[in-house]
Structure 1
Amino acid sequence: MENLRSQDVQTTRTSPPPAMRVIHLDLNEEESRREMAASKYGGICFHVGIAAMLCLLVVVLLCSAPIGESDSFRSSEERYARQRQAYLNKERRQRMGGEIVLSPLEEEANSRLMAIKQVDEEMHHLWRNYHSQAPPFLSHLNISDTNLYAVLKSMPKGGLLHVHDSGMLRTDILIDLTYRDNLWVCVNLDQGFEDFRFSRNFPHIPPTQDYQCNWMLMSNFFEFEARDAFEDRIRKSFTVRPEGYDSAAEMARHLRRQQRLIHGLIAFRPIWSDFIFSMLHDFYNDGVQYVELRSSLPIMYDLDGNNSTILETAEAIVSVTNIFKDSYKDFYGVKLIYAPSRDFNDSRLDEYLANARLLKLHYPNFFAGFDLNTFGDECNLPLLGQDTQLLKINKDIDFYFHAGESQCPDSLRPDSNLLDALLLGSKRIGNSVNLPFHPEIMKGMQILKVAVEICPLSNHYLQYFNDFRQHPAAYLIAAGFPVVIGSDYPYFWNSAPLTDDFYVAFVGVVSGWGNLRLLKQFALNSFLYSSLSETERNVAVTKWRCNWNRWVSNFVNISRDSDANKS
């Protein structure tokens, strides 16, 4: 009543006509009635909506059960078995390759492949004494003798998206190159080799901050050292030490030295083109039809000390690749990921980025993107996010960074690089062994369709994992995360360009539940997550699919003939 009186006082002050007051009051009452009605019927609609949703849920549950029977009529054992199978089916579909539908011929090939795998595991005891010594299947006496390895080697594996040029020349060939005339070697105080250079005269190359050494003719070693002893020493310079290294920094120093030695040999102008052709031939023979090659593009030189440019080095790769494609029509080609060595203070980063721009300008169809090679030593290198130059160029140049592959006392450092690589827009991330510890980063990568490049043998030899069943790729593959298989530096550990890593992933990482669907998905992922444009990808996949169908048919026919001969 007090409210009404106050309203009356206010209306008296404004002195509207009595008729207006009546109309105003009538309108207020009408509005109140409408609000009450809306509240009444809104509540009814709400309850009706809830009831409809419950009815719909019941219908869905009833429809999900087999026609003619309900869980209420099943025994507890039957309900348990049904629920258990439902979980297994869902996990099977979620795994990489789980949604792939195989043709009847592929289904037969899958059955025969799994039978071969089981026989090989029983014959070669691949998992015996697994935890007390190095994985037995890494012994090449075993791995190359298995029938499964032969099958995988013949299989068209698609593209190879993570491999370094310095890891693609066989050790025996490198040793043969050291016997050529006019070769000089830079020897450190421990009589170790630091660098090579073909030169008509004494090479006037000043030492760097990374190492100190003195130049001498390589032929001098042949006079004072037995050939076997010399070759053993040089072989150790070109391979990874089986017993491992005391720290990531020591391992990185060895890898940097390896690359320097190899580039000193193959960057000699008469050798570089031959090296590229030999590398492509090895890729092709191993079932690889497309390559994204990581290289720092060593500067070619001649006997008189004349250096080429980085564009001439790239031009040689393009020219040799075109010649190779003319001879092998089903080989799609090569793209470059420019990957110079990362400095401890990144003093040369501006130079590297200028080179990347130059390469993209002159070879837009050949240049894929940019990486910084850490050699597994993220522990001591600056974080990617600290390099503001990268923020300024990431809209113009695609990145393909290594990140999260080190074992550091401070594990936050390499893991921070994972986040930086994602935020900088890296199209793929290399050797991200720590990724499963970061579910939010994984979600972001899945949304943005950023794949992980996994190189199982590299992870083993560089001391990240021994037991492949504990490799994080096992989880990533089981969860359906986009994964591509690479090989890193395959000839550093005497492996094939890609087959050995496929074998280890198939036998070791995914263990019992790997099948032909997974292998097919690995191959398809190498195109789906490549730097190829949509048009290029369609052409490359068409070439691969022709080879794949031919391989499936040949594999099944050979297996049938073998079964017929046994019977």
Structure 2
Amino acid sequence: MMALGWSVTFLGVCLTAGQVTGDDELAAYHKLRSSFLQKEDMLMNGASLRLNKVEEEFDRWLTSTVGSLIQQYKKERLQERFVPATYFPKVRSHIENTTLYKVLRKMPKGGALHIHFSSATSLEWIVDKGLLLPGCHVYWPAGSPPSAASPKVPKGALAFFNASQAVPDGYLPASQLLQKPGFQAELLKLLTVQPEDEQLTSAEIWAKFADVFVRTGHFFTNTAAVQQYLRATLEDFLADGVSHVEFRIDLFHDQAHLYDLDGREHRGVDKVDVYSRIVSEMQKSAPHLTAKMIASSFRMRPPEDMEKDLTYAFEVKKQRPDFIVGWDAPGEEDIGRPTLEYAAQLLRVQNLSKAYGVDMPLMLHDGESDWSTLNTVDAVLLGAKRIGHGFNILSHPLLMEEVRKRGVAMEVCPISNQVLRYLTDLRIHPGARMIENGLPVTLSSDDPGIWGARGLSHDFWEATVAWQLNTRTLKALARNSLEYSGLTGAEKEGALRNWEKDWDHFMATWKSLVSDEHQVYV
């Protein structure tokens, strides 16, 4: 009502002073409209950024290209299956064949702050490379899974067994199965979502996700598999214009350790070092690369186990303070425990920080839900520095103001939310409203491997087209991903400095990716 009153008053002042023509009224209205939109624009992410001439030229191309895409969809009468309103597995190939995607892929995007390690890049890697690892076996029964031998093992579950271990019924050596025609394609289908999954409900697609994680769970307890998959993942992110990645990696006090094929165990600091050593090795050839770990528990855990996990994370972080940068408890919210149930444990973070002499920022999965809208409220009030998803935050206008005031970054994952059926049309994704209201927003890809994506470019494409983002906002999103990262102060300064150089280089060379200024499709 305040905005309406302001507009009526403004228009009234413009139209006083005697007889006014219709043209005067229209001119006054256009002046009012322009002023209003300018004020609204100043709320958005990136509003304070000023573009140079090169960036302005890119912005004109971006606006024209996105507009052409939208008009093309309308012309082809595709409104009922507008690409950002279509299930991602159905349109991935289309997206990858657009010039916009090829340009965005080269654009320096900063960091990926919301990534689950075991699905961080395309799971085709498992089918193409992982199956070749020594000792790799796959649960591939001839008929239906034998209920007595392995009642909870889904077909396609991967595991490692050495020559001295007894192999359970139904598991066959991957080397043997690779000789079977069609095996790799069938396994990949079991590890990924498919176009036909569009018909599933959120609960049903979550159940399919759970089966994928069961299939790959044992695979990612193998040290060699973790090392090689991490290397491939970081290579994919670097190729996608992403220089910093923060992986959510399980760190339970009582399970989920790593094992060599000979049975040697890596737990706690030893487990963390398996990851950090690969990062250090890759930095020799890619010095701008940085990667960190967010220690993770699980939303289904009882509060007493959650408390032990949190304390254990502090014990490990004390020994590796620069590699572990935060803590989370992911899991499906609609069937998991509410965040409030863990309030007593999370309120201990400050005392634990004092006791161990290290900070442990909370980076909590919350608001990724059809129902549990209060989880986001609890996450913010309990002191989270970042919120994973925050899909339901629009239900709480006061909370949005609190997020803005506290500088709590929102890790927005548009494709993930669509794949998991929290919405179908990305034009109405709350991430757009977060950006428009000036909340600190970063874009991330969550579990891209499960839907065949790599890096961040697919999410940037969907957001750019669905939300009609401009260059200022894209630049702000990339900067946000480094400014709100878990990097140390010195690392952050270096990362931002390197990103600025990469951004300037991109702006100087992007035209080489576009043979025709108005080209949309390749």
TM-score by length of 2: 0.83
Residue 79 in 1 paired to residue 37 in 2?
no
SS, match of residue 97 in structure 2: coil
Deviations 1:49-74 (A, max 9, x none): xxxxxxxxxxxx99xx9xxx997487
Equivalent-residue separation in structure 2 for 1:146 and 1:424 (angstroms): 43
Paired amino acid for 2:407: K
Matched, 1:392 2:345: no
Matched, 1:118 2:71: no
Matched, 1:236 2:189: yes
Alignment of 1:293 with 2:247, yes or no, is yes
| Structure 2 partner of 1:171 | 123
In structure 1, the residue matched to 2:3 is none
What does 1:208-227 align with in structure 2 at a 5 Å threshold? 215-219=169-173, 226-227=180-181
Aligned length: 479
Could you tell me which of 329, 345, 350 is aligned with 2:287?
Answer: 329
The 1:282/1:563 distance shift into structure 2, 3 A limit, reads: closer
| Residues 133 and 503 of structure 1: CA distance in aligned 2, closer, same or farther (over 3 Å) | closer
Residues 403-442 of structure 1: matches in 2 within 5 Å?
A: 403-407=366-370, 411=371, 414-442=372-400
Say if 1:421 and 1:562 are closer, same or farther in 2 by CA, change over 3 A: same
Query: Residue type of the partner of 1:371?
Result: D
Alignment match of 1:541 (pick from 468, 475, 496): 496
Work out the CA distance in 1 between the residues paired with 2:440 and 2:16.
Answer: 37
CA shift at 1:293, angstroms? 1.3
- 1:88 equivalent to 2:24? Answer no
Q: CA deviation at 1:463?
A: 0.6
1:159 corresponds to which of 89, 111, 130:
111
Residue 554 (structure 1) aligns with:
509
Structure 2 matches for 1:150-549, cutoff 5 A? 150-176=102-128, 177-178=130-131, 180-185=133-138, 188-189=150-151, 192-193=154-155, 195-201=157-163, 215-219=169-173, 226-228=180-182, 230-242=183-195, 243-244=197-198, 248-296=202-250, 298-331=256-289, 333-346=290-303, 348-374=305-331, 377-387=332-342, 388-394=344-350, 396=353, 397-407=360-370, 411=371, 414-508=372-466, 510-511=467-468, 514-549=469-504
In structure 2, how many angstroms separate the alpha carbons of the residues matched to 1:440 and 1:550? 41
User: Whose Rg is larger?
Assistant: 1
Cα deviation, 1:515-536, whole Å, max 9, x if unaligned, reads 1111101101112222234333
Relative contact order higher in (CA < 8 Å, ≥ 6 apart)? 2
Distance in 2, Cα, partners of 1:152 & 1:137? 21
The structure-2 alpha-carbon separation of the partners of 1:440 and 1:195, relative to structure 1 and needing over 3 Å to count, comes to same
Counterparts of 2:120 and 2:164, CA distance in 1: 29
Q: 2:291 is aligned with what amino acid?
A: V
Q: Tell me the SS of whatever aligns to 1:178.
A: helix
Q: What is the one-letter code of the residue matched to 2:503?
A: W
Offset, 1:398: 1.3
Is the 1:197–1:203 Cα contact (8 Å) retained in structure 2?
no
Flag the 1:77–1:546 CA change in 2: closer, same or farther, 3 A: same
SS of residue in 1 equivalent to 2:373: helix
User: Could you tell me which amino acid in structure 2 is paired with residue 461 of structure 1?
Assistant: V
Q: Could you tell me whether the CA contact under 8 Å between 1:428 and 1:452 is conserved in 2? A: yes
Q: Distance in 1 between matches of 2:174 and 2:437?
A: 57
CA distance in 2, matches of 1:256, 1:308: 25
Q: Which residue of 1 aligns with 2:142?
A: none
* Aligned equivalents of 1:563, 1:467: Cα separation in 2: 29
CA distance in 2, matches of 1:197, 1:122: 49
- The alpha-carbon deviation at position 121 of structure 1 amounts to 3.5
The letter for the 2-side match of 1:258 is V
- Alignment partner of 2:218: what SS? helix
Which range is displaced more, 474-483 or 387-396?
387-396
- The AA in structure 1 aligned to 2:475 is K
> Which one is further off, 235-244 or 107-116?
235-244
Q: CA deviation at 1:496?
A: 2.2
- Whether the 8 Å contact between 1:300 and 1:309 is mirrored in structure 2 is yes
Contact 2:112 2:444 (C-alpha < 8 Å) held by counterparts: yes
RMSD over equivalenced CA pairs, Å: 3.1
Residues 484 and 71 (structure 1), Cα distance of their counterparts in 2 relative to 1, 3 Å cut:
farther
The superposition leaves residues 347-378 of structure 1 with CA deviations (integer Å, 9 ceiling, x where unpaired) of 5313311331122111111111100011xx21
Q: Where in structure 2 are there 5+ consecutive unaligned residues?
A: 1-8, 140-144, 354-359
Q: 1:564 to 1:430 in 2, by over 3 A?
A: closer
Correspondent of 1:103 among 52, 72, 90? 52
CA distance in 2, matches of 1:502, 1:284: 15
AA at the equivalent of 2:37: L
- Aligned to 1:355, the other structure's residue is in SS state helix
Using a 3 Å threshold, how does the CA distance of structure 1 residues 126 and 94 change in structure 2: closer, same or farther? farther
Query: Cα distance, 1:494 vs. partner?
Result: 0.9
Deviation of 1:250 after TM superposition, in Å, equals 4.5
Contact (CA 8 Å) 1:491, 1:497: kept in 2 or not? no
Native 8 Å contact 2:131 2:175 kept in 1? no
Q: For the structure 1 residues 272 and 519, does the alpha-carbon distance in structure 2 shift closer, same or farther, using more than 3 Å as the test? A: same
Sort the Cα spacing of 1:224 and 1:195 in 2 relative to 1 into closer, same or farther, 3 A: closer
CA contact (8 A) 2:386 2:408 kept: yes
Report deviation, 1:403. Answer: 0.8
The structure-2 alpha-carbon separation of the partners of 1:252 and 1:344, relative to structure 1 and needing over 3 Å to count, comes to farther
The percent of aligned pairs where both chains have the same amino acid is 26
